[in-house]
């Protein structure tokens, strides 16, 4: 996601002689990509999903302190701190957490005698530059600290919390809450919520607060609230509700467990200064998990091997130190704000190499013997299929995987948060949507042929759905036998061997369709075709009519005929009347000119083989 960070705000943390364009270039080459500069002050920065710490002024400032010196600029860290306020026990808050995994850390403090008013010009200006509307000094402090420190927080009107009690739990299906934007939201099961002493829902945790506990012009006592939530639950809840907020975007990527109290203290200092309030409660800090420092064994040789060049040990150490890592002997301790991102030595190598500069790595192609891998023909056969059908007059379609219920098929999976009713289910077949497209193009021509190569989604209990790759074909104004011939010609083109099962369905309006499991077709496809040079001898073509029953398939008959003699060059269908099947057989001897006497002997052998294997007789 992209984040807006004013350069003037970064200077609160990093004193540098670099200009804004120098900063943009240094970040783009060694850290995060700067997409553009707005009004010569605000950087629009693309932050990768694994780097939630980069969604703040403090996070980008940390990066600048490491990358600017590599570019020859000064970068002196400016330490910021608010004096820790004295806590008193005058106001109380009773907190109950139903499951510690919901809220690994819960901290709060009550501030009394606040005066809700307009924020100072600097606060409003900075919030405006990052796209946040200023509301009042209380709410603005929470938004300001979220952007500066990367820690979302929320302010409640303490007197609106019935019984001064909070219970953190998961929602029940169908519960309702009106959020601060005035929207009534019906909750699915499993959303993290807070209820007060009367059982009213007052917070949609990690997403947006409740309207019934908002801070307004009459508020005199505020509960300032800072937490760490389960990122997975926040992500699921935000997506299922279709409500994406700045807070949710940060919580779902993980926030710094160790920054909760410093962030709370910073916000308390700022809030008391801007509102004239005073702390009126003890510091509440509940932890449902024990934070343990993460450390990784450093391997300088492995780092150099990954880099493909020698990077001095001193540079490795100084780089990791500048990024907040602590080196003790052979152990590198990961800073709390990178806790979820750094796991193995390769992660450390990546940190060192990006600061060293990818552009400084040797520009050499890898040597050695190329590895041999089994060739996968799926893509080649897919291209061949598309080319073949195109030359057969088919148009290719690209349809959504999500379809309305009427096209979904039996047992279709339902999407929890569909964009609209037409995209509510995952399709189990390609055919319904292809038929829909065909019907919408009635005026194009009397003859229309369409195909689609795509996945369908078949429910699998307790697991992700199976996603077989299918080929769907539909046509209007095409004779059944012609359509059947196209399917079988496709098999021949792909080298599909054996009696591959398929079914052609006839629909009203002279429409026919066929859907084939493409993955299985690929598995049945033979090897590459072998070129046979033209012979200088003539072939002899004959028709034979045999009496067949219902128990024998055409492919079985062709197999017996073809395998009788190597001089049987081609076998084809000629005609069928009642139980009489006429075959067209081409005889060819590539070594000499074949004679009628020789073809008679082969023909007699064919009839004998058919009779002995399937009881098939020659029609006389």
Assessment of whether the complete model's pTM goes beyond 0.85: no
Average pLDDT of the residues in 545-558: 85
Would you say residue 439 has pLDDT above 70?
yes
Determine how β-strand 176-178 pairs with β-strand 42-46.
unpaired
CATH superfamily of 540-618: Ferrodoxin-fold anticodon-binding domain (3.30.70.380)
Q: Which residue has the tokens 């399917």?
A: 487
The CA-based diameter of the chain, rounded to the nearest angstrom, is: 116
Whose CA is closest to 403, among 417, 386, 420? 420
pLDDT of 71 strictly over 60? yes
Give residue-wise pLDDT tens across range 265-282. 999 999 999 999 999 999
pLDDT band at 578; cut points 50, 70, 90 = confident
Class of domain 2-77: alpha beta
CATH topology of domain 378-524: BirA Bifunctional Protein; domain 2 (3.30.930)
Position 377 pLDDT exceeds 70: no
Domains 94-287 and 378-524 belong to one CATH topology: no
List, in sequence order, every residue forming a beta bridge with 167; answer none if it has no partner: 96, 195
Q: What's the distance, CA 574 to chain centroid?
A: 53
Q: What per-residue confidence (pLDDT) applies to 371?
A: 67
**Residue 442, token pair as written in the block:** 């009635």
What tens digit of pLDDT does each residue of 185-242 get? 999 999 999 999 999 999 999 999 999 999 999 999 999 999 999 999 999 999 989 8
Q: Which CATH number fits domain 94-287: 3.40.50.720, 3.50.40.10, 3.10.100.10, 3.40.50.11900?
A: 3.50.40.10
The answer to whether 10 and 78 have CB atoms below 8 angstroms apart is: no
Q: Residue 95 above 60 pLDDT?
A: yes
In 3D space, the residue among 190, 215, 216, 220 whose CA is nearest the CA of residue 205 turns out to be: 190
Euclidean distance between CA atoms 422 and 438, whole angstroms: 18
Assigned token pair, 448: 């229309």
Average pLDDT over residues 355-382: 78
Provide the token pair at 362. 């040797």
Q: Tell whether the model's pLDDT for residue 406 goes beyond 70.
A: yes
Pairing of strands 165-170, 94-97: parallel
Question: Cβ distance 453 to 518 under 8 Å?
Answer: yes
On average, the pLDDT of the chain sits at 92
Closest CA to 405 of 424, 432, 420: 424
Query: How many whole angstroms separate alpha carbon 156 and alpha carbon 328?
Result: 43
CATH T-level topology, domain 295-358: Phenylalanyl-tRNA Synthetase; Chain B, domain 1 (3.30.56)
Q: What is the pLDDT of residues 162-187, one digit of tens each?
A: 999 999 999 999 999 999 999 999 99
Whether the CB-CB separation of 327 and 315 falls below 8 Å is answered with: no
Residues 6+ away with beta carbon under 8 Å from 82: 265, 266, 268, 269, 270
Question: Percentage of the chain with pLDDT > 70?
Answer: 97
Provide the terminal-to-terminal Cα distance of the chain, rounded to the nearest Å: 79
Q: How do residues 304-349 score in pLDDT, each as one tens digit?
A: 999 999 999 999 999 999 999 999 999 999 999 999 999 999 999 9
Give the torsion sign (CA, 589, 592, 596, 600).
negative
Domain boundaries, the chain: 2-77, 94-287, 295-358, 378-524, 540-618
- pLDDT, residue 536, reads 86
């Amino acid at each position: 996601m992209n984040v807006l960070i004013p350069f003037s705000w970064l200077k609160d943390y990093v004193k540098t002689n670099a200009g804004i364009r120098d900063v943009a270039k240094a970040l783009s080459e060694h850290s995060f990509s700067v997409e553009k500069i707005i009004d010569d002050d605000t950087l629009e920065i693309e932050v990768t999903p694994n780097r939630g710490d980069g969604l703040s002024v403090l996070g980008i400032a940390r990066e600048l302190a490491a990358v600017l010196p590599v570019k020859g600029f000064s970068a002196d860290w400016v330490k910021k701190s608010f004096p820790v306020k004295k806590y008193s026990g005058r106001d109380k808050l009773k907190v109950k957490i139903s499951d510690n995994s919901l809220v690994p850390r819960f901290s709060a403090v009550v501030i009394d005698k606040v005066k809700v008013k307009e924020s100072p010009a600097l606060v409003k200006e900075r919030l405006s530059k990052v796209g946040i509307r200023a509301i009042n000094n209380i709410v603005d402090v929470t938004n300001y600290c979220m952007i500066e420190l990367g820690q979302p927080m929320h302010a409640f009107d303490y007197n609106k919390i019935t019984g001064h009690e909070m219970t953190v739990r998961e929602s029940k299906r169908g519960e309702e809450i009106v959020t601060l934007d005035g929207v009534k939201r019906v909750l699915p099961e499993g959303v993290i919520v807070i209820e007060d002493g009367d059982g009213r829902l007052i917070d949609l945790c990690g997403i947006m607060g409740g309207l019934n506990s908002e801070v307004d012009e009459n508020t005199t006592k505020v509960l300032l609230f800072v937490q760490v939530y389960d990122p997975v639950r926040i992500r699921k809840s935000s997506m299922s509700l279709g409500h994406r907020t700045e807070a949710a975007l940060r919580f779902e990527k993980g926030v710094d467990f160790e920054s909760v109290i410093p962030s709370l203290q910073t916000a308390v200092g700022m809030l008391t200064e801007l509102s004239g309030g005073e702390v009126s409660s003890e510091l509440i800090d509940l932890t449902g998990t024990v934070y343990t420092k993460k450390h990784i064994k450093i391997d300088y040789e492995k780092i150099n091997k990954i880099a493909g060049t020698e990077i001095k040990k001193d540079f490795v150490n100084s780089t990791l130190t500048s990024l907040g890592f602590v080196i003790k002997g052979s152990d590198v301790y990961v800073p709390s704000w990178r806790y979820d991102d750094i796991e193995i030595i390769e992660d450390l190598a990546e940190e060192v190499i990006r600061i060293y500069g990818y552009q400084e790595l040797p520009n050499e192609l890898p040597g050695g013997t190329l590895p041999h891998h089994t060739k996968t023909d799926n893509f080649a056969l897919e291209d061949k299929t598309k080319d073949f059908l195109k030359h057969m007059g088919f148009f290719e379609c690209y349809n959504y995987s999500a379809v309305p219920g009427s096209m979904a098929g039996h047992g279709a999976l339902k999407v929890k948060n569909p964009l609209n009713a037409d995209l509510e289910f995952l399709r189990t077949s390609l055919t319904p949507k292809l038929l829909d497209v065909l019907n919408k193009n009635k005026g194009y021509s009397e003859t229309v042929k369409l195909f689609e190569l795509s996945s369908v989604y078949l429910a699998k209990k307790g697991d992700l759905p199976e996603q077989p790759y299918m080929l769907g074909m539909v046509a209007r104004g095409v004779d059944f036998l012609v359509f059947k011939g196209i399917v079988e010609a496709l098999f021949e083109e792909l080298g599909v061997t054996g009696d591959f099962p398929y079914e052609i369905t006839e629909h009203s309006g002279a429409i026919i369709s066929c859907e084939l499991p493409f993955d299985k077709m690929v598995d049945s496809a033979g090897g590459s075709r072998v070129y046979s040079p033209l012979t200088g001898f003539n072939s002899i073509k004959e028709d034979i009519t045999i009496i067949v029953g219902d128990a024998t398939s055409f492919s079985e008959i062709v197999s017996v005929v073809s395998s009788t003699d190597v001089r049987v060059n081609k076998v084809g269908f000629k005609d069928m009347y009642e139980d009489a099947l006429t075959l067209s057989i081409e005889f060819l001897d590539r070594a000499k000119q074949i004679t009628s006497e020789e073809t008679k002997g082969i023909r007699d052998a064919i009839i004998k083989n058919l009779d002995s294997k399937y009881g098939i007789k020659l029609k006389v």
